[in-house]
Structure 1
Amino acid sequence: MNRVKNKVALVTGGASGIGLSAASLLAKEGAKVVIADFNVEGAKEAAATLVNNGYEAAAVFLDAGNASSIEAAVNFTVERYGSLTVLFNNVGLTNLKKDLDILNIDLDEWDRLVNVNLKSILLGSRFAIPHMQKAGGGSIINTASMAAFASDQIRTAYGATKAGVVNMTRNIATQFGKDHIRCNAVAPGLILTPAAKNNMPEEMLAIYAKFNALPYHGEADDIGHAVVFLASDESKFMTGQTLQIEGGHYLANPTIADTNNWLASL
């Protein structure tokens, strides 16, 4: 308890999944938390649940594709709690029907994903950093993805934007470290958020499980706990890093699973 006591955290995309886990765990560890989401009713419900359990939380609408909305969410946080010391830039989009290969990707979708997945992190940080400077420091945490480090048949824009998140994280860390502002990222693999559970068929989950080093899939709290660590002073000498939290899925030679099955059949 109290690992982030007296810190003020803004969590974008906080109404569900990884964002909700992080917001809840930050609040339970002592932070004052603002949950920002396009689904503002979901954000309000999440904040109310935390408040009803004795924690400090509020909700605000956020359109991560709109600069004014991002600035308004930052300003709301500062007006509500007096400062801003933790920013979890968590909003991210993907579209399996339009974000295709290089020849077939919808170029409007490319622009949309660059705007939401990458530019929103630049803007969130840009609006938050002056408040962190005034507070004497802070921690910015960005949601990247293992798609930043591995290619795919599709999701060209998603992978490119998440690779950009990794690099932007390092730039923010370099540019504002002397102000006691740290910036790190988390790169989830497959995480069983409600969206993943609802949209991924069992056959696809089995394929992912086959290539995991660990015999199970990740849960939202596996990322949420990492966010708390990066927000806390436990990670005070850590900046510019991306934590790859993916169950060892990308760890080994990709032939190992099939080779093991072949050897077992001999």
Structure 2
Amino acid sequence: MQSDAIRLDGKIAIITGGAGGIGAATARLMAARGAHVAIADIALEAAQAVAAGLPGAMAVPLDLESEASIEAMMAQVAGHFGRIDILHNNAALLGPDIAQQDGDVEHMGTALWDRTYAVNVRGTMIACRAALPHLREVRGNIVNTVSNLALQGHLIQAAYSSSKAAIIQMTRSIAASHGGHGVRCNAVAPGMTLTPALRDAFPPALRAAVEAETLRDRLGEPEDIAEAVAFLASDAARNITGQLLVADGGCASHVPGIAQFRAFFGDNL
């Protein structure tokens, strides 16, 4: 039997980057648990399509590179619903074209680095800043999507991974500075997640390499991450703040080369 504390009845939740992937899955789950969701995305038509399938939902345009756009989004949602209980910062600069440019630091383009931080770090900060007065009034909370890449070194994605590491520290800072006002702030770190975009664009050989390092029998789905986000946003997590929940199927939890050990020992392990 589902605990009532997991429910989000009557809560107003903003999900940035809610038009697809993890954001859309989170919007659907929160709505199913009783929340009214605002889907904020630069892809407004896609956000409207998601909102159309959810009772009481709204779609709002959002450009995380624009301070005015972020503040206008927050004001629009607060004006429409009368309050804001949950901010899920999920949007990020991420896509096949960006990933191809985001390699190691020696070959990093300054423009890409600056834009990654402008969207991921600065945009998240401004969204939190704009939401905090509303969240303080209702003892609300923030859940930030980061990445297990923020916890480990990699050959590629130096800009993305380091920007997500910055958001982890921002999460702790907000939890510390606003916990006395009843505001919680946590982060969820997915690993490789089988979003539609990833299924279409990620090379199968690299996907297989990540799957081999996963401690489950498959990669995570957007719905798996949505469950973690919705839990942290709910009253069931009322004593959890300033924390990072790693939801990567165990990829970040083991020694390097576990896939090779599996292959060596075979059925004897």
Q: What is the TM-score with the length of structure 2 in the denominator?
A: 0.94
Contact 2:214 2:249 in 1 (8 A): yes
- Residue 101 of structure 2 aligns with which residue? 98
Aligned pairs for 1:6-155 within 5 A: 6-50=10-54, 55-94=55-94, 95-135=98-138, 137-155=139-157
Task: Name structure 1 gaps, 5 residues minimum.
Answer: none
Residue 202 of structure 1, CA deviation: 1.9
2 CA distance for matches of 1:176 and 1:263? 50
Range with bigger deviation, 11-20 or 96-105: 96-105
2 CA distance for matches of 1:115 and 1:139? 23
- Residue 249 of structure 1 aligns with which residue? 251
- Residue 196 of structure 1 aligns with which residue? 198
Q: What is the TM-score with the length of structure 1 in the denominator?
A: 0.95
- What is the SS of the residue equivalent to 1:142? strand
Q: Deviations over 1:185-221 (max 9, x none)?
A: 0000000001110111221221111111111010000
2 CA distance for matches of 1:184 and 1:160? 18
Q: Deviations over 1:115-161 (max 9, x none)?
A: 101111110010000111223x1010001100110111121111110
- Residue 210 of structure 1 aligns with which residue? 212
Contact 1:140 1:184 in 2 (8 A): yes
Equivalent position amino acid for 1:115 in 2: A
Equivalent position amino acid for 1:89 in 2: N
Residue 180 of structure 1, CA deviation: 0.6
Residue 265 of structure 1, CA deviation: 9.3
Task: Name structure 2 gaps, 5 residues minimum.
Answer: none
Equivalent position amino acid for 2:86 in 1: V
2 CA distance for matches of 1:239 and 1:134? 18
The count of corresponding residues between Structure 1 and Structure 2 is: 261
